[in-house]
Amino acid sequence: MNKLWNTYIWNHPERVSRIVMLVYCMVFPGTLITIFLDAIPDNARWFGGLLMTIQGISIIAWLIHYHGIRALVPILVVLLGSGTIEYIGATTGFPFGSYAYTTVLAPRILDTVPVTILFAWMMVIAGAWYTGQILFHSSSRVVRAVFTGLFVMIIDIQIEPVATHINQYWEWYDSGPYYGVPTVNFAGWWAVGFFLGYLCDPYFARVTAPYAHIIPLIAVVGSYIIFAAMTFMHGYYIATVVALGMVALTWFGLLRMRVHHVQGS
């Protein structure tokens, strides 16, 4: 155990981001058990937001390790960009449809957008970008942004039943065929994913060390598993299948990348 800690955590160049992610991994099993026992109290629904915040902080530390002060560019692009878009969305209905955040997640910026949502976007953008890369290995910045938008949208397909019906992080004033969520919402998520992914692409693409993408992928796969468990326990089976499908696809991409790395070496 001491060797594992020294080799993969304390003496690893990504030490800070890995320690933060280790905190997430330590509470992960207990969270799953609580979900399957249907033992989450109503006054603890905010805990999911805490998990997303930890994931986002890990991604921020990871970016700082690889880019130093220059990491402020993608960090601010995602935090300020997502915060601005979310505020516009919650106050005007564009580009997601008409919705509002509840008081479950706090604190809220300008009494509108929960701070934890900005950190969640950090995890979502990085996780979606690297998911596209391990599956498709695109060399075009535009194509990578297209796939980032696609996987961001797929993540939202999993999030919506959890955030609206189970944890009640936000409520919709518009409606649609997918568990009451307006269809335009998914187009909005794709567009935001494309936009933020395109702007962050040069920084993600410069991280080329073997297995350097493991932090964002652990973060996003952890979310897939949590979403799968929660939607399954509450009967939102379409979202469950999507979440488990993304776990399988990501695992396939990692295995293929490992084979490519071994053959290349």
Q: What is the pTM of this model?
A: 0.94
* Model confidence pLDDT, tens digit, residues 8-24: 677 778 899 999 999 99
Omega of the bond prior to 210 within 30 degrees of 0, cis?
no
* Model confidence pLDDT, tens digit, residues 112-168: 999 999 999 999 999 999 999 999 888 899 999 999 999 999 999 999 999 999 999
The angle at the Cα of 18, spanning 5 to 209, to the nearest 5 degrees, equals: 100
Range of the domain at 258: 2-264
How many domains, the chain?
A: 1
* Model confidence pLDDT, tens digit, residues 178-211: 999 999 999 999 999 999 999 999 999 999 877 7
pLDDT of residue 138: 81
